[in-house]
């Protein structure tokens, strides 16, 4: 439902902000269209059905793409060399081909003539099977949410589990759903975003989180389906499509019916020092898959405020939201799948801190009225005083309902102290339930004066965002990132992890997954 406008924002200024975001983003999109990465190519082979890992735990899809890259490069795409080799008949399937390639027993080449046509047809058929799985999972989600039912109200309650052991995560997630959580987010193991491969199988040894794998996705989804039927509402599952394997995570999520994925246009660049070009290429492909799968993305603007001041840098959050919106729309994601991020991170000791939070939250809500905004609880200013922390979380929950937020991450009073116990989660959920029960409809009564503090602050932030977008348009987004514009992190376009896995597409580049995804966009 479209949120009712409450702030007297200048519509011409709002339109200018969106146009500037488009102008800033267009060169980046063109760059993404003209490049590929090893993760894009691996995601394509995953859609074609390649699974499994070698005895060292390295997925066969990595071994196969690496072998092709060594012989023909990835600039032509790996699908033609791979399926040409498969069509030769010496290997019965992709996995056996990967085994042989890893041992140096396959000569890859770019086919021509009839061999080219045969290999491309075989590749399209195989990749089509992956998209059939994604489409079937989307239909299942729609059917389950229709027949079991969705949560009766917004905001949806978003709760994290992160034991490191998928078999421990499952009962915790089910317990959280029974206690009222509408979305379960399984936090990834520390540092997984920097792995240039996706671990295989069920995992039990994560660090401050659980490894994101296709099998872990499948196990958790099956468990939450069971709990959804038990509690009478469809419980959504969230994980991460970020880091060096963003496209592969998106493909695995689509084939295993995840409902939300953290997917931000700049998070990996700023906070994991992943190469900007690699990130933008991977991000576009992954968002195209999310659009096909009907997966809501959650962006990461809240992270900027963990390193920058939430008042001084408020406009950078708005700028990032506008850029994320442009990149998402260009990749085919409609507003209803655009979970833009923002956070409750103004220093509580600052005078009028709550009014500032309301202004920032309401600005985001009004700029993106049809987007399922994800509102993040306080973290940076949690001190270890659990009583103060619980009060701050209550104010966060109140701001969420007053400004009509869509997805409310449950704040923990033990944030930055310990990994929460189940009892901590119970207390946090009690806080949320109390605020939603006592003030859930407060948004309809909240009408800040047109000339008041909240409206003036929102107008100030929007004006600063437009000024920054004008500079980014003139200087270029990659240069703005290199200069430390966002989150005070300086990340040059020729630096960071993963650049060696990027290639400019050759004129004869072929990717059957890309063909499907681009045709989806044209159909829209």
Catalytic residue among 66, 282, 302, 424: 302
4 catalytic per annotation: no
Asked if residues 138 and 188 have their Cβ atoms less than 8 Å apart, the reply is: no
The closest alpha carbon to 315, from 305, 324, 328, belongs to: 305
Cα separation values, 512 from 108, 125, 302, 391, Å: 18, 9, 36, 53
* Residue listed under structure tokens 């729609």: 142
Catalytic residue among 158, 267, 304, 509: 267
* CA gap 139, 134 in Å, rounded: 9
* CA gap 432, 455 in Å, rounded: 27
474 catalytic per annotation: no
* CA gap 74, 51 in Å, rounded: 20
Asked if residues 155 and 401 have their Cβ atoms less than 8 Å apart, the reply is: yes
Dump the DSSP string for 147-214: HT---SSSSEEEEEE--S-HHHHHHHHHHHHHTT-SEEEEPPPTTGGG-SS---S-----SSS----H
Residue 367 CA from chain centroid, whole number: 20
Asked if residues 261 and 212 have their Cβ atoms less than 8 Å apart, the reply is: no
Cα separation values, 301 from 13, 91, 103, 248, 349, Å: 21, 47, 44, 23, 22
318 φ/ψ angles, rounded to the nearest 5 degrees: -60, -40
* CA gap 94, 81 in Å, rounded: 12
Other beta carbons less than 10 A from residue 428's beta carbon: 25
Dump the DSSP string for 450-509: TTSHHHHHHHHHHHHHHHHHHHHHHH-HHHHHHTTTTTT----TT-SBTGGGEEEPPTT-
Per-residue burial over 98-131, b if 16 or more Cβ lie within 10 Å, else e, is bbbbbeeebebebbeeeeeeebbebbbebbeebb
* CA gap 292, 332 in Å, rounded: 8
> 114: which 2 tokens?
């009839």
374 catalytic per annotation: yes
* CA gap 236, 47 in Å, rounded: 23
Catalytic residue among 66, 240, 282, 374: 374
* CA gap 45, 36 in Å, rounded: 14
Task: Give alpha helix (H) positions in 333-404.
Answer: 353-367, 386-402
Reduced to 3 states, what is the DSSP secondary structure of residue 238?
strand
Catalytic positions are 267, 302, 374
């Amino acid at each position: 439902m479209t949120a009712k406008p409450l702030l007297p924002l200048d519509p011409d200024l709002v339109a200018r902000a969106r146009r500037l975001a488009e102008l800033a983003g267009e060169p980046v999109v063109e760059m993404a269209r003209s490049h590929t990465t090893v993760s894009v190519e691996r995601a394509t082979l995953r859609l074609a059905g390649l699974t499994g890992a070698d005895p060292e735990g390295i997925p066969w899809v990595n071994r196969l793409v690496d072998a092709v890259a060594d012989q023909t490069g990835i600039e032509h795409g790996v699908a033609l060399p791979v399926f040409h080799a498969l069509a030769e008949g010496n290997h019965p399937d992709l996995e056996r081909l990967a085994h042989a390639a890893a041992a140096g027993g396959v000569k890859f080449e770019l086919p021509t003539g009839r061999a080219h046509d045969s290999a491309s047809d075989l590749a399209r058929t195989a990749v089509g099977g992956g998209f059939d799985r994604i489409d079937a999972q989307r239909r299942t989600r729609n059917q389950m949410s229709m027949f079991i039912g969705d949560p009766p109200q917004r905001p949806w309650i978003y709760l994290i589990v992160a034991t490191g052991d998928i078999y421990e995560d499952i009962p915790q997630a089910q317990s959280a759903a029974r206690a009222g959580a509408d979305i379960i987010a399984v936090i990834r193991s520390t540092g997984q975003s920097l792995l240039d491969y996706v671990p295989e199988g069920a995992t039990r040894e994560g660090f401050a989180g659980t490894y994101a794998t296709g099998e872990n996705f499948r196990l958790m989804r099956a468990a939450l389906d069971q709990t959804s039927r038990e509690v009478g509402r469809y419980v959504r599952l969230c994980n991460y499509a970020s880091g060096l394997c963003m496209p592969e995570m998106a493909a695995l999520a689509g084939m295993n019916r995840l409902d939300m994925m953290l997917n931000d246009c700049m998070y990996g660049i700023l906070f994991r020092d992943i190469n900007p070009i690699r990130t933008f290429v991977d991000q576009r492909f992954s968002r195209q898959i999310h659009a096909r799968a009907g997966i809501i993305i959650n962006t990461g603007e809240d992270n900027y405020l963990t390193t920058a001041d939430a008042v001084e840098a408020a406009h950078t959050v708005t700028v990032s939201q506008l850029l994320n919106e442009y990149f998402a729309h260009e990749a085919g994601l409609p507003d209803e799948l655009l979970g833009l991020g923002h956070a409750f991170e103004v220093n509580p000791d600052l005078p009028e801190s709550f009014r500032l939070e309301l202004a920032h939250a309401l600005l985001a809500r009004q700029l993106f009225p049809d987007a399922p905004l994800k509102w993040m609880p306080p973290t940076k200013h949690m001190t270890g005083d659990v009583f103060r922390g619980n009060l701050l979380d209550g104010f966060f929950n109140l701001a969420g309902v007053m400004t009509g937020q869509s997805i409310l991450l449950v704040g923990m009073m033990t944030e930055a102290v310990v990994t929460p116990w189940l009892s901590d989660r119970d207390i946090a959920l009690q806080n949320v339930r109390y605020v939603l029960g006592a003030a859930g409809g407060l948004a309809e009564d909240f009408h800040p004066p047109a000339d008041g503090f909240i409206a003036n602050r929102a107008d100030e932030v929007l004006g600063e965002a437009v000024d920054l977008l004008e500079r980014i348009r003139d200087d270029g987004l990659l240069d703005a990132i290199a200069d430390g514009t966002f989150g005070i992190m300086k990340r040059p376009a020729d630096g960071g992890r993963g650049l060696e896995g990027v290639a400019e597409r050759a004129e004869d580049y072929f990717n059957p997954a890309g063909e499907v995804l681009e045709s989806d966009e044209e159909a829209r």
